[in-house]
Chains A and B, each alone.
Chain A
């Protein structure tokens, strides 16, 4: 046997190391380790151990009131399932409940406005903060300046109604909701439309992206399944082949912004069958929009319009749907009227007008009554931001600084005003708030359906309770708030009654059509149309605050720090734009930062479709500084009935 030398030891060691490594690799251990690494990077919260338990509750996210099962591990909810598995609200509700940036106590601004840095705020007790605000309100109302108090709410819900009451009882008319499907319809028609989709058999949608966040998404998904089962027809008119358009039975690919003309063209066909709505002057305008004229404006064929009108008239229970968009809705009051007129012409049983009973008008104190006499009247939120004034502003979960086309004007006014915000997460508007109060998610709220499934997070309180507590500390408001808390009202609030027939005002229609004619006209300066699109979960902005939502964004919507817009392929060729190229979009209002172009055949010619919901300045680290906010350059003509800007169609150019 030859003696082992140093070289032999090296070979033995090398073989052993190589063998060990090979065994380790073939066992799959390194790949397991890599998968762990991938999971670790997902920043997924791992709950502390505890007993598994399932809470039964009724979902209060919408009026559908689905049964809800909440899986608990110890005290922490880890998963929600509802009887409607297609509902994104409840499925993602824990994203808000345990959001890493959820506000956990009232904050008072100590730094300059316009920043979300923690150093700009200090935590403050509820009592101290409410007392300070009450003192300021007492002073303003005592000086008969209550008309300079304003309130903006996101939703037409109980907290919104209580804020409206607070503002009105102070002697101000400046109580507004952010424009939404219901608030726009109420302003235009005198009531919101209570659609009975479950029993409709022909659904004619004028740009309402029914399956992309429109209305109540969970019930819309359920309706869609029911439509397919029973063979109901969905006809979608839209300038973009959105998800709704692509799964509709018929997609009417119209030119952007011409939905109202299509409605009038269909009405014209119905009139020839002896159907009518509104007065003679209304029908006279309808008479002008023959299928041929409507076809020339919308880009459809006259025969298509006639066929749709015929099918609509022959259906057992047809319904026409207004409210272009998904979460963010923008339709003129004239368009709401024209579409509702179609329902009236065919006697639809699926589009009843209803009016919420609300809390009624508060009795005014002498100071408040004197104040409201001097109040400046504005019609809706955008009109108020543009033309109104305020010294004190309450913001209830709304984000008008981001969502309104007049956001920049509001920011300027908020810089010199006293602003109080109620919200669970700090949004773009709260960057200018002096006090921010943490409010609840629906999982922590009692509703008409039952008690709150979960306890409130940290020191968060229902905005309604905060408003009632505040009102009780203001001398002139005490009498208008006899309740001990919002729970006293949840069982009774929300009752609705019929709203009667709308006023089909021919002048409103005529004025809008004249204005639309100008907008549709291509000009050398701004030859293209800009229209919005939405990702269902991002919506018009609030959804981007949630980490899971980021995972639903495809790379042709947002990637590598850039927002993508969709441009018709032929139009892009004419404009010299290639796939992925950076472009700037400019309207008469200005320019937004560069975006990337995605060329597609699913967008109408001469049109750019731009996603809403991006370009936040705050709204958590997940949403901040991602892409651009197209509202900054979108059209800002204010509708005379809704007081909201009609931003859907904007003339632009690219460079």
Chain B
């Protein structure tokens, strides 16, 4: 009996592990946009150190991920926005804890560069308005959606690795249903 359990159980556990890992990686691969992430970024340190010091909460994502005046989502920040805090002529050490360090890895980029790509960029046939979803409110004034609903818990991430990738239509629809947003085709497609 013991031998039987070993003979079945060990290969079961080994292939379960590798099957799970391989399939997960495969899913992640096909669901990722495979962006270049030329500069690593630590959300956690920014949100835990600099946000509280400036009176911001971890939900104030628009400080870096803002909207254009016409309402379109800017998405990722430019290097100029990074260097507005990380002064290129500043010091490279923590001598003054209230001053952000110079980041030498930004030197090779122009101010307008965005040295990151998005994991979750939707395909061309889908239109998604961040502004509409992120400003939708319940009657009591609470926001209906949070950034983390689609992008994962970036507040705790310490690298530029993917937490959540693209979404399939079913996931979009589930969220629309839960938030009482329309699921009519023309809302996202045309």
Binding site for B on A (CB under 8 A): 2, 8, 11-24, 26-29, 32, 35-36, 38-39, 42, 44-47, 49-50, 52, 54, 71, 73, 77-81, 88, 91-95, 548, 551-552
A46 to chain B: which residues have CB within 8 Å?
123-125
Min CB distance A84 to B, Å, is: 13
Q: Given contacts A11-B8, A12-B8, is CB(A19)–CB(B127) below 8 Å?
A: no
Q: Are B23 and A27 in contact (CB under 8 A)?
A: yes
Q: Are B190 and A12 in contact (CB under 8 A)?
A: no
Min CB distance A446 to B, Å, is: 21
A44 to chain B: which residues have CB within 8 Å?
125, 189
Given A23-B17, A24-B20, A46-B125, 20 other A-B contacts at CB below 8 A? A2-B3, A8-B3, A15-B10, A18-B12, A19-B12, A19-B15, A19-B16, A20-B15, A21-B19, A23-B20, A27-B27, A35-B169, A35-B171, A38-B169, A39-B168, A47-B124, A54-B72, A78-B127, A92-B190, A552-B184
Determine whether B95 belongs to the interface, using a CB cutoff of 8 Å to chain A: no
Min CB distance A49 to B, Å, is: 7
Query: When chains A and B are docked, how far (Å) is the Cα of A88 from the Cα of B18?
Result: 50
Query: When chains A and B are docked, how far (Å) is the Cα of A45 from the Cα of B185?
Result: 13
The 4 closest A-B pairs by CB, nearest first: A23-B19, A27-B23, A19-B15, A23-B20
Min CB distance A69 to B, Å, is: 8
Q: Are A71 and B123 in contact (CB under 8 A)?
A: no
Query: When chains A and B are docked, how far (Å) is the Cα of A35 from the Cα of B174?
Result: 12
Min CB distance B123 to A, Å, is: 7
Q: Are B20 and A26 in contact (CB under 8 A)?
A: yes
- When C-beta atoms are compared, the residue in chain B nearest to A8 turns out to be B7
Min CB distance A53 to B, Å, is: 11
Min CB distance A435 to B, Å, is: 31
Q: Are B186 and A88 in contact (CB under 8 A)?
A: yes
In this complex, how many residues of chain B approach chain A with their Cβ under 8 Å: the count is: 39
Interface residues of B in 91-147 (CB under 8 A from A): 123-125, 127, 129
Q: Are A39 and B169 in contact (CB under 8 A)?
A: yes
Interface residues of B in 18-35 (CB under 8 A from A): 18-24, 26-27, 30-31
Q: Given contacts A23-B19, A32-B31, A80-B190, is CB(A16)–CB(B185) below 8 Å?
A: no
- When C-beta atoms are compared, the residue in chain B nearest to A91 turns out to be B186
Interface residues of B in 53-109 (CB under 8 A from A): 72
Q: Are A15 and B9 in contact (CB under 8 A)?
A: yes
Q: Are A93 and B125 in contact (CB under 8 A)?
A: no
User: CB-defined interface of B25-56 with A at 8 Å, one 1/0 digit per residue?
Assistant: 01100110000000000000000000000000
Query: When chains A and B are docked, how far (Å) is the Cα of A88 from the Cα of B20?
Result: 45
- When C-beta atoms are compared, the residue in chain B nearest to A97 turns out to be B190
Min CB distance B32 to A, Å, is: 13
**A19 contact from B3, B11, B129, B189, Cβ within 8 A:** B11
A-B contact pairs, 11 of them (CB 8 A): A16-B11, A19-B16, A19-B19, A20-B19, A22-B20, A24-B20, A32-B27, A38-B169, A39-B168, A44-B189, A45-B125
B4 to chain A: which residues have CB within 8 Å?
11
Helix, strand, loop or mixed for chain A's interface?
Answer: helix
Query: When chains A and B are docked, how far (Å) is the Cα of A96 from the Cα of B142?
Result: 39
Query: When chains A and B are docked, how far (Å) is the Cα of A103 from the Cα of B112?
Result: 45
Min CB distance A7 to B, Å, is: 9
Determine whether B14 belongs to the interface, using a CB cutoff of 8 Å to chain A: yes
Query: When chains A and B are docked, how far (Å) is the Cα of A50 from the Cα of B123?
Result: 11
Min CB distance A72 to B, Å, is: 9
Q: Are A32 and B189 in contact (CB under 8 A)?
A: no
Q: Are B15 and A78 in contact (CB under 8 A)?
A: no
B13 to chain A: which residues have CB within 8 Å?
19
Q: Are A548 and B189 in contact (CB under 8 A)?
A: yes
Number of A-B contacts (CB under 8 A): 128
Query: When chains A and B are docked, how far (Å) is the Cα of A176 from the Cα of B90?
Result: 77
B20 to chain A: which residues have CB within 8 Å?
22-24, 26-27
Q: Which of A22, A23, A39 has the most CB of B within 10 A?
A: A23
A17 to chain B: which residues have CB within 8 Å?
15
Helix, strand, loop or mixed for chain B's interface?
Answer: helix
Min CB distance B19 to A, Å, is: 3
Q: Which of A11, A13, A14, A50 has the most CB of B within 10 A?
A: A11
Query: When chains A and B are docked, how far (Å) is the Cα of A44 from the Cα of B169?
Result: 11
Query: When chains A and B are docked, how far (Å) is the Cα of A454 from the Cα of B129?
Result: 23
A551 to chain B: which residues have CB within 8 Å?
184-185
Query: When chains A and B are docked, how far (Å) is the Cα of A548 from the Cα of B186?
Result: 7
Q: Which of A24, A50, A552 has the most CB of B within 10 A?
A: A24
Query: When chains A and B are docked, how far (Å) is the Cα of A15 from the Cα of B125?
Result: 43
A21 to chain B: which residues have CB within 8 Å?
19
**B190 contact from A16, A20, A91, Cβ within 8 A:** A91
Q: Are B15 and A23 in contact (CB under 8 A)?
A: yes
Q: Are A23 and B21 in contact (CB under 8 A)?
A: yes
B12 to chain A: which residues have CB within 8 Å?
15-16, 18-19, 22
Q: Are A35 and B124 in contact (CB under 8 A)?
A: no
Min CB distance A313 to B, Å, is: 36
Min CB distance B122 to A, Å, is: 11
Query: When chains A and B are docked, how far (Å) is the Cα of A355 from the Cα of B159?
Result: 67
A20 to chain B: which residues have CB within 8 Å?
15-16, 18-19
Q: Are B186 and A32 in contact (CB under 8 A)?
A: no
A52 to chain B: which residues have CB within 8 Å?
124
Min CB distance A272 to B, Å, is: 44
Q: Given contacts A19-B13, A20-B16, A94-B190, is CB(A35)–CB(B127) below 8 Å?
A: no
Query: When chains A and B are docked, how far (Å) is the Cα of A36 from the Cα of B26?
Result: 14
B11 to chain A: which residues have CB within 8 Å?
12-13, 15-16, 19
B30 to chain A: which residues have CB within 8 Å?
32
Query: When chains A and B are docked, how far (Å) is the Cα of A50 from the Cα of B170?
Result: 25
Q: Are A93 and B170 in contact (CB under 8 A)?
A: no
B190 to chain A: which residues have CB within 8 Å?
77-80, 91-95
- When C-beta atoms are compared, the residue in chain B nearest to A56 turns out to be B70
Query: When chains A and B are docked, how far (Å) is the Cα of A13 from the Cα of B14?
Result: 12
Min CB distance B106 to A, Å, is: 26
Query: When chains A and B are docked, how far (Å) is the Cα of A35 from the Cα of B11?
Result: 30
Query: When chains A and B are docked, how far (Å) is the Cα of A17 from the Cα of B23?
Result: 14
Q: Given contacts A19-B15, A21-B19, A78-B127, is CB(A548)–CB(B27) below 8 Å?
A: no
Q: Are B24 and A27 in contact (CB under 8 A)?
A: yes
Min CB distance B149 to A, Å, is: 18
Query: When chains A and B are docked, how far (Å) is the Cα of A29 from the Cα of B20?
Result: 9
Q: Are B185 and A15 in contact (CB under 8 A)?
A: no
Query: When chains A and B are docked, how far (Å) is the Cα of A89 from the Cα of B2?
Result: 71
Query: When chains A and B are docked, how far (Å) is the Cα of A366 from the Cα of B9?
Result: 101
